[in-house]
Amino acid sequence: MTSTATKRSQQSPAAEHGAAARRPLAQLLHALNQPLTGLQCSMEVALAAPRTPEQYTRGLREGLELTERMRSLVEAIREVADVEEEKNENLEITELKTVLRETVDELKPVAEARKIRITLDCSETSSLAVRAGRRSMLGTVFRLLESALSLAARSGDLLIETGSAPSQCWLRISWRLERPPSPFSRPELGLLIAQAGWERAGAAWQRERTETSDTVTVRLPIISDARGPS
């Protein structure tokens, strides 16, 4: 049975919806307050009155669980802070389609292990040249696709689509969920870190989630007159 302290540390649907409108760092800081409060409650309960050895053991286990959640959140906070404080690289012109292909190739063993078929559809665009550091873009795309693969249902599909308008390009990734995602699980934290990376590059991030599917759309300014590999 979940203790009162652990219940208090879990996020309500209303709180989750409110958090979705915040920037990644603000979401993580808000989430960190919950296990901290739960741990404090657990310790207060333990000191309030004499308890049996079994009750102390159960309280310690719950405290360790909350501490592990806090460790994961602090690690993600550090990564997001590093992304937001990162000095501007040489903002070279990077071909997003090439970055996507390289990342998909790198993650193929992960997809094969989970029996997930990755479909990369760039047929609507001849070029997706964006003004962003290639190294940062590779890391951000990798984090996004790796997290999506972890959340996707086994033996399912991960669809990656791209498109462009005169001044903007977009990247859309969609997948079927294996189960409702646990708030601030490692893949969910990975998506928040990816979101921070995209926003650092000047992109607009949008996520649409239902009980059975998830879709992330990223929009970036496009360099329409760039010449590069397609």
Of the two residues 96 and 2, the one the predictor is more confident about is 96
Q: Per-residue confidence at 219, pLDDT binned at 50, 70, 90?
A: very high
Of the two residues 115 and 229, the one the predictor is more confident about is 115
Q: Which residues contact 102 (CB under 8 A, 6 or more apart)?
A: 138
Q: Per-residue confidence at 222, pLDDT binned at 50, 70, 90?
A: confident
CA distances from 37 to 10, 42, 52, 216 (A): 10, 9, 23, 31
Which range among 4-8, 142-146, 153-157, 158-162 shows the weakest confidence by mean pLDDT?
4-8
Domain locations in the chain as residue ranges:
4-85, 93-221
Query: Domain spanning 93-221 has what CATH number?
Result: 3.30.565.10
Q: Report whether pLDDT(59) > 50.
A: yes
- H helical segments located in 49-126: 53-85, 96-113
Q: Report whether pLDDT(154) > 80.
A: yes
Tally helices (H) and strands (E) across the chain.
7, 7
Q: Per-residue confidence at 123, pLDDT binned at 50, 70, 90?
A: confident
Q: What is the pLDDT of residue 228?
A: 43
3-state secondary structure of 171: strand
Q: Report whether pLDDT(173) > 80.
A: yes
